[in-house]
Amino acid sequence: MNSMLNDTPVRVLIIEDDPALREPLVSFLMLEGMQAQGVDSLEAADHAIQAQELDVLLLDLGLPDGNGLTWLSHRTDLSDKGVIITSARSDALSRVSGIRAGADMYLVKPVLPEEIASLIHNLMKRMRVQKSQTWVLDTKSWQLQAPDGKKLKLTHSEHALVQTLAKASGRVVTKEALAIGLGHVPEIYDYRRLEVIIRRLRNKVRETLGVTLPLETAHRMGYSFTADIRVGRVG
């Protein structure tokens, strides 16, 4: 099984407080060619996520310092990672809640390590396809990354504009909402300034990245970012 992502081993974090389950799984995934590490608490998971780049999280729900489901539902920085819940809770409500909280898969223990490895492999294949078609907005560096990996540095106004559009997930954003996103009062904002920002950004993307910005005008309503876009770190 190929456990490489862009010539880099798949990086997996196992959040599981039972060492009898955690350590053998870490060893098995390492043998499968992945970079795996295990932690026994949500606090340790927070530190691990901040310290390094990760591709997939395996998350238990019953942890000593909190509920893994609650923790996952409050994370806003995991949209670019695969999340697999492994739990002894088999009821339908828990499974549905897990998916709604942001998990890609919900597995009921016990789960064979071979099954987990295969699911990680399949998940990474889907994520590769998704990433190849997705724009990325880095809110820390103010960079916009095109699907081919090319990056563009944004101005403050451009960043605020794209961030507001990204939150709408392809829906039309009214001009008034964009004005608010830019930090202005809609009733007194000169919308010609918005048109200038958009025109300059379109030209900038075309000249710098060599592609057309997927920003469509909705006549008399506003604008929509018609391609997939996520907020996270650029590669």
DSSP 37: E
The answer to which of 27-31, 144-148, 174-178 has the lowest mean pLDDT is: 144-148
Q: Is residue 232 within 8 Å of 177, Cβ to Cβ?
A: no
Predicted confidence at residue 3, as pLDDT, reads: 57
CA distance 189 to 157: 14
DSSP assignment, residue 77?
Answer: S
pLDDT in tens, 74-110: 887 787 789 999 999 988 888 999 998 889 899 999 9
Tens digit of each residue's pLDDT (9 = 90 or more) over 42-73: 999 999 999 988 999 999 999 999 999 999 99
For residue 13, the 8-state DSSP code is: E
| Nearest-10 Cα torsion for 122, 102, 63, 4 | 30
Report whether 25 contacts 113 (CB < 8 A): yes
- pLDDT of 113 > 60? The answer is yes
Averaged pLDDT for residues 139-153: 92
Yes or no: say if 34 and 46 are a contact pair by the CB < 8 Å rule. no
C-alpha torsion 70→73→76→79, nearest 10? 130
pLDDT-derived band at 129, boundaries 50, 70, 90: low
